[in-house]
Structure 1
Amino acid sequence: MDRRTFFKKAGTAAAGAAAATTLAAPAIAQENPKISWRMTSSFPKGLDTIYGGGVDIADRVRAATNGNFDIQVFAAGEIVPGLEAANAAGAGTVEMAHTVLYYYYGKEPTYALGAAIPFGLNARMQNAWYYAGNGGTLMNEFLATENLFGIPAGNTGVQMGGWFRKEINTVEDLKGLKMRIGGLAGVVMQKLGVVPQQLPGGDIYPALEKGTIDAAEWVGPYDDNKLGFNKVAKYYYYPGFWEGGPVVHAVINLNKWNELPKNYQAILNDACAAANSNMLGKYDAKNAIALKELVGGGAVLKPYSQEILNAAYDASLATYAELKKKSPHFAKIYDDQLAFKKDAYLWAQIGEYTFDTFMMIQQRSGKI
């Protein structure tokens, strides 16, 4: 090849490369547009682990898109009250919310199945039902009727059974007590004589302090210690049988979700999955330390009696039978979740329960 031919071909190649670069730039821009969303949280900033789940999502999305997809996180009350977060997303006031779906069971009881119901699934089972079972599909079929799309984005693990001013040994002791308790748990406890109160996290301490309520449940030792409930109520009960593994959701306005580029949808899904795992890990790590601090500070740790647990279980089954008659959505999803739970506990008692029980015996004998 002579010099003239070589330079002619080289020039043509260079021009082609330049043209390709010029053509590629707009295509990349279209695939990665600048998008700004607002996420309203149901939680105050002071609860760093549960509120932090929303921040975790936003940070991961921002990093994965080089800042092109920016989600601003707002604490409860900054845009709308905490218990209105999902409603704001559905209405388009904000693009998305970080919340717990059982807050909205008053609109439609099916919401509660997406988060936690009394004597429902634990955290691992929730993940299995959502990711490998029918949970994600069924819940989003329902949420679409509310103009929402939901993604699991956190889990606290099994919660505690609440703070009481006096000892609670029998069902009779529960009668007339005003208790802050959320979701369907309040309906169940009402059957046992409790007067349920639904309050956001930031309002619980002053209500307990003033005697507006007699008892309260929130999450678990880490958050309860931060909120200082042990200063205004002495008796700390377990387990929180109404929340074996409550899912915290990212709920997104359905139209906004459908408008997102597919790669942004994938990035947001992955960010929520990471936040889901991280939140549970943080609570598992922090709750044990906080529990020791609470007991060391004078909290009296007590289990619910078998009488109370049995009565609450029977009341839960009665509640579900009633709700199945009222709501086709609830009936469909509850039956699927129940079938999943039967198999999940079959495996859990063979694997997890046997192993964990042995290890707990070693701990109690001082070998751990």
Structure 2
Amino acid sequence: MKTSNQFDRRAFLTRATVGGATAAAGAALAAPAIAQEMPEITWRMTSSFPKSTEALYNTGLYLSNALAEATDGKFRLQSFTAGEIVGGLQAADAVMEGTVEAAHTVGYYYWGKDPAWAVASAIPFSLNYRGMNAWNYAGGGVDLYNEFLAGHGLVGFPGGNTGVQMGGWYRKEINTLDDLKGLKFRVGGFAGYVLERLGVVPQQLAGGDIYPALEKGTLDAVEFTGPFDDEKLGFFKVAPYYYSPGFWEGAPTVHFFFNKQKFEELPKNYQAILRNCCRAADQEMLALYDWNNPKALMRLVQQGAQLRTFSPEIMSAAFDAANQIYAEMSEKHEWFKKLWDSITAFRSEHYTYTQLVDFQYDYYMMQLNGQQRL
């Protein structure tokens, strides 16, 4: 007779054998389901950016690497620079046409199709980065933009932000509104339409084409992003006057656009992974710019860049022209009105709060910095 604490080897082996067989059967049943949830998928993504714009282009690589890491290499997203598959300004078109599954680009490049494309990326005097971040993720901006994009066969998620940009490089000083008249200015997307009301002659060129046009004199001025990119592109060598702020791009949101049919064919877990990896990439880009822009600006000044700010006259005229255009667009374009109304409903609240809190803190710290106490 065995006591309760004595080891029954035969009973143990019997239970182990039965249990092992059950576990093995369960594993056999689970394996196909897991395989279905983690299929081998390879997509191609075309970028609107050259490799020289490190933070912009590398954010696409960040997404590719994040997807591969999260899926143990099962979901591969091959990234191609502007011009390798299609031109930088045709990236979203390539996704809509099914040439590629994905694009990393800026919505305002396509505002000619419908001005609503630009609203969720950047238009003059919209929100700053924190405001856009709040609108996108807490205020329903991502979902609202996707309602619009669905009509174009796309799904889109924010894929980076530069923060407020500089106002560009100019061959001559820009002191009055008269100085803008006839100015051949490389300026992206919808902003050019607004500045045209002030006499500017807007030119939309992809990043890799800007410097040659400036050097040849085809352009009088260019804007791209800010010091980190602009330094590498060499604009200061031709146009030394560097203006701020880029009021037309207070928080330019770059997007990852995906072919809607291809996205919906993904397993649900892949869809979730893709959304979350895009959100991580969105944060990554701004961090790179915030870290690198101050250092790059100091180097540019040392190399001869002359810093300037736009006059109140120019800022006010641009603000009035933008509001006039927004009223016109809202009458003619349903989705422009929906998106812009959603942003402006939050814009006043956002700036009221940030004026009370962020601005007061930042201004005090700036004063200390000016006194060389930091």
TM-score range, shorter-chain basis?
Answer: over 0.9
The CA deviation at 1:23 is: 1.2
SS of match in other structure, 1:258 = helix
Deviations 1:295-332 (CA, angstroms, capped at 9, x unpaired): 11111110001110010000100110111111011011
State the match for 1:58 in structure 2: 64
- Cα distance in 2 for partners of 1:46, 1:301 equals 23
SS of match in other structure, 1:25 = helix
SS of match in other structure, 1:192 = coil
State the match for 1:234 in structure 2: 240
Asked whether 1:148 is paired with 2:154, we answer yes
Deviations 1:13-58 (CA, angstroms, capped at 9, x unpaired): 2211111111111111011111100011000111111100100001
State the match for 2:74 in structure 1: 68
Amino acid at match of 2:179: D
Deviations 1:275-298 (CA, angstroms, capped at 9, x unpaired): 111110110111111111111111
1:343 to 336, 340, 349: 349
2:323 to 313, 317, 321: 317
State the match for 1:126 in structure 2: 132
State the match for 1:213 in structure 2: 219
* Larger Rg over CA atoms: 2
Calculate the aligned-residue CA RMSD, in Å. Answer: 1.1
State the match for 2:340 in structure 1: 334
State the match for 2:173 in structure 1: 167
SS of match in other structure, 1:237 = strand
State the match for 1:304 in structure 2: 310
- Cα distance in 1 for partners of 2:10, 2:369 equals 84
Amino acid at match of 1:298: G
Amino acid at match of 2:42: S
1:188 to 175, 189, 194: 194
SS of match in other structure, 2:247 = coil
SS of match in other structure, 1:252 = strand
Amino acid at match of 1:153: G
1:290 to 282, 296, 301: 296
SS of match in other structure, 2:208 = helix
State the match for 1:357 in structure 2: 363
State the match for 1:278 in structure 2: 284
Deviations 1:243-288 (CA, angstroms, capped at 9, x unpaired): 0011011111111111111111111111111111111011011111
Amino acid at match of 1:319: I
Q: Decide whether aligned partners of structure 1 residues 5 and 281 sit closer, same or farther in structure 2, where only a CA change above 3 A counts.
A: closer
Amino acid at match of 1:168: I
Amino acid at match of 1:122: N
In 1, are the aligned partners of 2:48 and 2:104 still within 8 Å (CA)? yes
- Cα distance in 2 for partners of 1:156, 1:8 equals 65
In 1, are the aligned partners of 2:186 and 2:222 still within 8 Å (CA)? yes
- Cα distance in 1 for partners of 2:52, 2:129 equals 24
SS of match in other structure, 1:193 = coil
1:29 to 25, 35, 39: 35
**TM-score, length basis structure 2:** 0.96
The CA deviation at 1:4 is: 5.6
Identity %: 56
- Cα distance in 1 for partners of 2:309, 2:11 equals 89
1:95 to 78, 101, 107: 101
Amino acid at match of 1:248: V
- Cα distance in 2 for partners of 1:3, 1:322 equals 86
The CA deviation at 1:211 is: 0.4
State the match for 2:51 in structure 1: 45
State the match for 2:5 in structure 1: none
- Cα distance in 1 for partners of 2:183, 2:235 equals 17
SS of match in other structure, 2:77 = strand
Deviations 1:153-182 (CA, angstroms, capped at 9, x unpaired): 100000000111111100001000110001
In 1, are the aligned partners of 2:120 and 2:339 still within 8 Å (CA)? no
**TM-score, length basis structure 1:** 0.98
Where do 5+ consecutive residues of structure 1 fail to align? none
State the match for 2:269 in structure 1: 263
State the match for 1:113 in structure 2: 119
2:22 to 5, 16, 24: 16
The CA deviation at 1:3 is: 6.0
Where do 5+ consecutive residues of structure 2 fail to align? 3-7
